[in-house]
Structure 1
Amino acid sequence: MFLRRMLLALATTAAATTVAATAVAPAAHAVGPSLLPVTVTNSTGRGDAVYLYVLGVNLSTGRLGYVNSAGTFTAWSGGAIPPSPAPDVSIGGPGNGGSTTLRFPRGFSGRVYFSFGEKLKFFLTPDGLV
């Protein structure tokens, strides 16, 4: 009788533990916005024209490219050996004391480049940007 009560108690404890373990909900995963706004403020005191460039990689495809002012990613096309000039993908930046908001799409990894006074020159090979 004692052994039967002991086995019943163990079985009940095991069942309760299993139920408790499966009753816990999985952790929620936060998903950010489809476009991440990033504000660039010009506090340099310079009156030169400002040019911004958002260049990087689409993580879902592995393609290199650029993001325009609306936040749309476009993969680079073309390219040659020797490297050929890349198209102008500059975004007009803010004047002194002003701000511009850039939008980065979800799944994008890249960099923001900027220049004062004149545009940067980029070149393309068949593998991407140089």
Structure 2
Amino acid sequence: MGTAIQKKVRQFSATYLIKTVSECFEKIPDHRPNKCIIPFANFPKSAFAMMHQKCDSLLAFDEERLDEVCCHNLEKLYHIKDGIVPSDTRMREVVDPIDPAEHKTPFKKLLNIVQRNGALKGFEFKCGKLK
């Protein structure tokens, strides 16, 4: 019984959920004609990090990425390879053309984890025959 509880705790930890999202971003195909210094997965991971940290704007995130401590945290927490975070302009250029369907995969994986562990049971609404 203790292992089931430990498994749930592990699957709902921020580290595990961020890692799951990062692994999904690794599988997005690179649409750039010329591969550059920045690995492709760093672009969606950086965009996710910006949204997850609730930065006021892309420019604010761009200014933070230059800080050594912030760069180290992005590398360790969000699995951004080599700590190379793209600039705001370059991020827009690369992330915008990504097919929106590619962003469904991380959402589906996270929803699957939540459903599998029964975390949505508390949100069920039953009214007669309606579910």
TM-score (norm 2): 0.25
Higher helix share: 2
Larger radius of gyration: 1
Q: Which of the pair has the greater relative contact order for Cα pairs under 8 Å at 6+ separation? A: 1
Higher strand share: 1
